[in-house]
Chain A
Amino acid sequence: MAWDFVFPFSAIVGQEKVKLALLLNAVNPRLSGVLLKGQKGTAKSSIARSLSRLLPPINVVDGCRFNCDPSAKDLCPECEERLASEGALPAVLRPANFVDFPVSATEDRVVGSLDLQAAIKQGRRYFEPGILAKAHRGVLYIDEVNLLDDHLVDIILDAAASGENVVEREGVSFRHAAQFVLIGSMNPEEGDLRPQLVDRFGLCVNVENLSDPDWRVEVMRRREAFDSDPMSFCRDWETAEAAIRERILNARRLLPRVNMPAPLRRLATDLCLQANVAGLRGDILLQSTARTIAAWAGRAEVQADDVYLAAEFVLVHRAGMTPPPPPPAEAEAPQDEPDKPYSDDPKAQSEQWSNRRTLPPTSQNHVQDDGQKRQEPVGDPDSSPQTETPSETPASSPINAKDGRQSTFEVGTPFPVQRIYARKDRVYRKGSGRRSRTRTSNKQGRYVRATMERKNHDLALDATIRAAAPYQKAREKKGLAISIQESDLREKVREKRVGNLLVFVVDASGSMGAERRMVETKGAILSLLLDAYQKRDRVGLVAFRGKEAKVLLPPTNSVELAQKLLKDLPTGGRTPLAAGLIKGYDVISQYLKKDCDITPILILISDGNANVSCGEGPPLQEVMKIAQRLGEDSRVNYLVIDVEKKGLLSFGLSREIAARLGALYFSLEDLRAENLVASVQLGRSVFHDISAYGGMNN
C-alpha cells in the first residue's frame, strides 16, 4: 500500500463551499486561512490535505532553508549573507509547502532550534528550521486544532499575527519570516476553540454530511477506487487537478485588477456592522474575499452575490464578537446552533447573509404526556441579559411514544450561577479559567518543551544535548562524542489539561415532572454547563429513573454534547437515587485512575425523594448510608442542588443527603448568582470561597 498518495481534491464529492473556501486561499494567501468545522467523518481532513497538490509554485532562493522569496525584503539571515557575498540569489520555481502539523509536535520543532549535530561535530551554532519555517509562503494545516496544546497555539498565533518567527533559545538568536495560510479542522463536539485562535482564521466553513444518496454512493465508489489502486486513481484525476491549478493561477493574475464598486464596499461594511464584528479585520477580509471570489469566477468586477457569499465565510465565526472579547455569558447562549458558539446575532441578519437553518420563531414548549400543556417560559424576567429572545429556548420533544408516562421537558433559561469550587488538599489556581497547567508529579502528559528547572528526573534528552552542544570544544570527552555536565540538564515540561471534572447526577424520575421542576432543573444544569465551558472543565452526565442509573455522557470536554443530551433527557418513573449516586461516583473514580490530578465534583440534582433501592432495605435509609460512605472519600467533592419546592410538604431530604455527603448545598433558587448569601455549607467543611462569579454577574 502506497503511503504517500493523497486523495485528489477534484475527486471529492460535493462540499462545494468548503472547496471554494480552500481554493480562495490558494488564490489569495492574504485571506489568512480557513477553519473547517464539522462532525466526525465528513472528510474535513481529506479535503484539507488534498489542497496540498494544488498549491501554485513559488519562486524561492535555491537552497534556502526558509523558503525565502528572492525578491523579498525580509530575507532570512542566511540569504542576506549570501546576497552580500555573492551579489545575487539563484531562484528556483517549486510548489509551495503544505505542512501537516502533527498532534504530537514539540515546541523545539515548531519554532526551530539549535542543530545539535552541527553543534557537536563542528562546534558551530547552527539554527535548524522548524515547522514555521517550512510553512513559510505555504500552508500550515492543523488537524483537530481544538485539541492542540495551548502553549503551541500561542506560538503559532504569535507567528501568524506578526508574520515572523523570532527565536531566542539555547544560545541561538534567530529571526525569519513566517507567513502562511493557516488551515484548521475540528469537530466542535470535541471542545471549542479559543476566540483569539478563531479570529486568526480568515474564513470558516461548516462541513456537513451529504444528505443525497446519489452523492453518498459516489463517495463510496470513489473511495473504493482510490483505496484499491491509489496510483491509477490519482492519474485518472490528474487532468481535473491540472485544470484547477491553472484556474488558480489565472485567478491570481486577475485578482489585482478586480474592481469592487463603492456601493458593494458599503454593503460589505453594513454587513459587518450588522453582524457586530469586532475590529476591522472582518471588514478587510470581507472585501478581499469578495474580490477573490470574483477573480475565481473570472470576473474583473465584484457582484453583490460575491459579497453575500464572502460574508458567509468571513462572518460566521466573527458575528457577535463585540469588543472587548466575547463576554463569556454570550459565548454559549442556549442556541440550537452548536457550530456557532460565539454567534449571538439577531436572526434577521443571519438570514440575510447566510442561508443556514434558523430556529422557528416560537418554540413549542409543551409536553404532550398527559394532556397537560406547559407553555410558559421558565426564566425569571429579572434573570439575566443574555436571554432576550424567547426562541432561544430549544423546543421540547416527546420521545418514546410507547411509554405514556414519559416526557421530555425543554431546557429552562440559563442564568449566571454561584461560583462553585473545591479547595481541599490541592492547589486550585484561582481564577485560572483555562485548565492547562504543567504537571510536576509524574511523567504523564504531553512533552511540549524543556526547562532548566529540575524537579522530577524527567530528562529531556534533546534539550540537554542542545544545551551542552556549544561547549563541546572546550570539554574533555573521554571517548564519547559529547560531554554533558550538570548544568546542561534539562527536564521536560509536560502539559496536561487539569481542572475540574463535574459529574452531574440528575434525577429524571416522574416526581421531577411535577410543576415543571424539570424545566427549571434543566435550566440550572445548563447554567452550570455554561459555567463549566468557560472554565474549560470536563463534564459527565449521569441520570437515574425507573430502576436504574445510566451514564449518559462519560467525562468529556464537550459541553455541547452534554447540552444536546440534556435537551433529550426524558423524565418519568421512580427514583433510584442510591443507584444514581453510586453510578456518578463510579464515573469519577474511574476517571481518577486515568488522571489523578483532576478535581472531581459530583453534583447531585434531585428532590431527594428516593423510592427505589439497589439492594435490600428501605430506599431512603440506603441512600443515607451510601451518601455517608461516599462522603468519606476525600478525593471527591460533592454538591447537592435541591429542587424540592419549599412548601407544606417539603421533607428536606436532599439537605439530609448533602449533610451525609459533606456536600455544599444549594436550593435551586440559591444557585443564581444574584442570590449571594443563600449558600449553605453542611457537614464536613470542604468548600470555601463561595462568592458571586464576577464575570457573569450583571
Chain B
Amino acid sequence: MTQPLIYPFTAIVGQEKMKLGLVLNAINPRLGGVLIRGEKGTAKSTAVRALAALLPEIEVVEDCPYSCDPHDYSSMCSTCRQRVDSGEVLPRATRRMRVVDLPVSVTEDRVVGTLNLEEAIKKGEKRFEPGLLATANRGILYVDEVNLLDDHIVDILLDSAAMGVNTVEREGISFTHPANFILVGTMNPEEGELRPQLLDRFGLMVQVEGMADPVMRMEVVKRRLSFDDDPDGFYAQWEEEEHRVADQILKARSLVPHVPISESLMYAIARIAIELGVDGHRADIVMVKAAKTLAALQGKDEATIEDVRTVAELVLPHRLRRRPFEDASFDFSRLDELLRVNV
C-alpha cells in the first residue's frame, strides 16, 4: 500500500510536538495548518512527506485536476458536479494524498492557475490551467521557508487556505474551485519573521529544536543509515507501528465531530485569550478544535483540561503580542494558573 521509499513517520526520533501538530491537522484539516519554526536539518520536510505516506490512500475522481471526492457532491468542483448532474459515472481511482511543494521562487500564475497556453494557441479556446492550489486540494501544501516567500503570494495562499476556495480573476480567466488543503509552512526565524497577520492564520505553530541529547542523536543517525542501506527492510520493521498510527488517525477522524468539550473548558479558553490579550477569535476557535482533535486522537470521549493545556502550547505562542525585550519564550506557568483558576 505504501511506497516504502519514504522514511516512516513513526521512525522519526523525538520532535514530538512537530509530529503532534502534523497528526492533529491530518485528523482535522479545519485546524488551519501548522507552522514549523526551527533550524535546518530538523527533519521538517521528512516528517511532512512521511505523514502523507502514512495516511491511507484517498479515493479521487481520476481525471479531475482538483482530486474531487467521488462520494461527496458538496465538495466537488463545478465540472464534476456538472458531470454528476448529467448522469455521468465518474471514473474513480485511489492514490496517496499529495504533498505539493511550493518553492520560494514560485510565481503567482503557477499558484492560482492561469490561461492554458496550448489550448489557446492550438484551438483558440480559453481554458483554465489549474495551478498549485488546485493540485493541493485534499492534500498537503508544503511551503518551505514561508518567510522568504513574496508577500503577495503568501497573501493568496492564506486567503485560499482560510476559505478553502481559490478565486481566479486574471489573464482573461474567471474561475472558482475548491482548495482545501493542509498548509504546512516552515521557517527559520533567523532569516526574518513573518508578519503577525500571517502568523495568526496558521492554526498551530511548533518550535523544533536541534537535538542536544547524544543518545538520541546517535539513534537518529543509526536509523537513517539503516533506512538508507535497506529501505524495504527498514520499512518492514516499522510497518506495524505505521499501521497502528494510521488506524488511530482514521478512528480519530470519525470521532472528532462527536467529542464534546465542556462549557467550563470553553469559558476557560475564552478567559485565557482575553487575559493574554490575544487578537481576534482565531485562538479560541482553534483551541477548541485542537483540544477536541487531541481527545479524539487519544480515543477519549471528552476533551479534558490536559488536552487544552497541551494544545495551548501549539495555539497561543505565535498569537501573543510581545513588548520589546520581553522574553520570547511563552510563560506556561501563567497559562497553568489561568487554567487552574478558570476551570
Contacts and interface: CB of A to CB of B under 8 A. Distances in A.
B150 to A, nearest CB: 7
Contact of B192 (A106, A445, A462, A590): A590
Interface stretch (B6-14, B121-129, B294-302): B121-129
Interface stretch (B38-46, B54-62, B93-101, B265-273): B265-273
B115 interface: yes
A482 B121 contact: yes
Contacts of A676: none
B289 interface: yes
A227 B108 contact: no
B197 A216 contact: no
Contacts of A590: 191-192
B211 interface: no
Contact of A41 (B72, B271, B283, B292): B283
Given A217-B263, A217-B267, A462 B171 contact: yes
Interface string B261-294: 0010011011101100001111111001100100
A117 B178 CA distance: 25
B180 interface: yes
Contact of B172 (A5, A40, A116): A116
A481 B280 contact: no
A220 B266 contact: yes
Contact of B167 (A100, A108, A551, A594): A100
A224 B260 CA distance: 11
A430 interface: no
Given A220-B288, A447-B170, A568-B323, A39 B195 contact: no
Interface residues of B, number: 71
A131 interface: yes
Interface string A539-560: 0000101000011101110000
Contact of A102 (B167, B281, B289): B167
Interface string B65-97: 000000010110000000000000000000000
Nearest to B323: A568
Interface string A211-227: 10100110111011001
| Residue of A103, A443, A444 with most chain B CB atoms under a 10 A cut-off | A103
A190 interface: yes
B270 A39 contact: no
Interface in B99-123: 107-109, 111-112, 114-115, 117, 120-123
Contacts, number: 217
Contact of A40 (B72, B111, B273, B279): B279
Contact of B285 (A223, A462, A556): A223
Contacts of A664: none
Interface in A437-492: 443-447, 460-462, 465-466, 472, 480-482, 484
Contacts of B256: 228
Contacts of B156: 102-104
Contact of A187 (B111, B126, B150, B197): B197
B169 A116 contact: no
A564 to B, nearest CB: 9
User: Which of B191, B196, B292, B325 has most chain A Cβ within 10 Å?
Assistant: B325
A238 interface: no
A226 to B, nearest CB: 10
B270 A104 contact: no
A545 B197 CA distance: 28
A113 interface: yes
A185 B152 CA distance: 17
A255 to B, nearest CB: 33
Contact of A593 (B114, B148, B267, B323): B148
A219 B281 contact: yes
A143 interface: yes
Interface string B119-146: 0111111100000000000000000000
A39 B124 CA distance: 46
A330 interface: no
Interface residues of A, number: 86
A465 B120 contact: yes
B342 to A, nearest CB: 9
Nearest to B66: A3
Given A40-B279, A41-B282, A461-B171, A591 B325 contact: no
Contacts of B107: 443-444
Given A131-B169, A591-B192, A104 B282 contact: no
Contacts of B289: 224, 227
Contact of B280 (A39, A220, A543, A550): A39
A182 B10 CA distance: 51
A147 B197 CA distance: 12
Given A1-B180, A461-B171, A550-B324, A217 B165 contact: no
B169 A189 contact: no
B124 A482 contact: yes
B19 interface: no
A164 to B, nearest CB: 20
Interface string B146-161: 0010101001100100
B325 A508 contact: yes
Contacts of A210: 281
B178 to A, nearest CB: 4
Q: Which A-B residue pairs are the 10 nearest by beta carbons?
A: A41-B280, A120-B124, A481-B124, A216-B270, A2-B74, A462-B171, A3-B178, A106-B170, A41-B282, A109-B169
22 contacts: A2-B75, A3-B75, A3-B180, A40-B196, A40-B282, A104-B108, A105-B169, A109-B174, A116-B172, A117-B125, A117-B126, A209-B281, A213-B274, A216-B273, A220-B266, A224-B285, A446-B152, A447-B171, A461-B117, A465-B121, A565-B323, A591-B192
Interface of B: 29-30, 72, 74-75, 107-109, 111-112, 114-115, 117, 120-126, 148, 150, 152, 155-156, 159, 164-165, 167-174, 178-180, 191-193, 195-197, 200-201, 256-257, 263, 266-267, 269-271, 273-274, 279-285, 288-289, 292, 323-326
Given A209-B281, A221-B266, 17 more contacts: A40-B200, A41-B279, A102-B170, A103-B159, A106-B170, A117-B124, A117-B126, A147-B152, A187-B197, A217-B270, A446-B108, A447-B171, A465-B115, A480-B121, A482-B121, A555-B192, A568-B324
